[in-house]
Amino acid sequence: MIRATVSAAAVAALIAATAGCGGKGDSGPKRAPSREAFGVELGTTGKADVQARLEAQGYECSDKSARVQARLSCVEPGAGNARKLFVFLEHAAPVALASHQRSHDRAADGLADFTATVERIQNTYGGPTSSERVPPPGAPLPLNQKVVVLWEFADLVVELDAISVGTRVNVIEQYRSPRATGDSH
């Protein structure tokens, strides 16, 4: 768990400085520089390979499939408050969505995680294409509202959310294929 204290001002400044620098250009959305998420390639890596890779890292994975859609939920080793979810539109299809949800008991830890994740994603994808409810400098995350930062490309959508409920903050990092999940630009 991240223990650094980071202000909401740092998040707002980081996003403001790079807003609009992501995947959408003057000629429309461009392709993402990478489709890798948590060690797997969206649109390429199959369910068995995802499960084998994560279990080799010590994750405990379980099949959460429903009807046609296959889902693989993996709990992070030693962190009961974090899990990764992989969605496959069909049982034999490659991964279409990968997410990592982390829960923090302290708001400062959640904000630090959110800030560090924005920076890490920007290192790969550039500035976000849009954001919602990012607090102004010096303000905490809004209570009971989802803060959203998006990077949209022709072949990938990266979404980072933070939801503050009291002192608890959930951070959800998601990579998805826009065609497979019905997103449109």
Structure tokens at 184: 């449109």
Q: Which residues does residue 60 pair with via DSSP β-bridges, in sequence order?
A: 75
Radius of gyration of the chain (CA): 17
Instruction: Using the predicted structure, report yes or no on whether residue 183 has a pLDDT greater than 80.
Output: no
What is the mean predicted confidence (pLDDT) over 101-112?
Answer: 90
Each as own residue / partner, the long-range contacts of residues 119-123 (CB below 8 Å, 24 or more positions apart, any chain) are 119/14, 121/149, 121/151, 121/158, 121/160, 121/173, 122/14, 122/18
Per-residue model confidence (pLDDT) at position 138 = 65
Sequence-separated (6 or more) residues with CB below 8 Å from residue 9? 136, 137, 138, 139
Per-residue model confidence (pLDDT) at position 128 = 94
Per-residue model confidence (pLDDT) at position 173 = 98
What is the mean predicted confidence (pLDDT) over 132-159?
Answer: 88
φ, ψ at 162 (rounded to 5°) = -135, 130
The domain segmentation of the chain, as residue ranges, is 8-181
Q: For 55-88, what is each residue's pLDDT tens digit?
A: 999 999 999 998 888 999 999 877 668 999 999 9
% of the chain exceeding 70 in pLDDT: 79
- d(CA 134, CA 163) in angstroms, rounded, equals 11
Structure tokens at 16: 């403001």
DSSP label of 139: P
Is the separation of the CB atoms in 121 and 143 below 8 Å? no
Instruction: Using the predicted structure, report yes or no on whether residue 6 has a pLDDT greater than 50.
Output: no
CA angle 89, 24, 177 (to 5 degrees): 5
Q: What single-letter amino acid sits at 109?
A: D
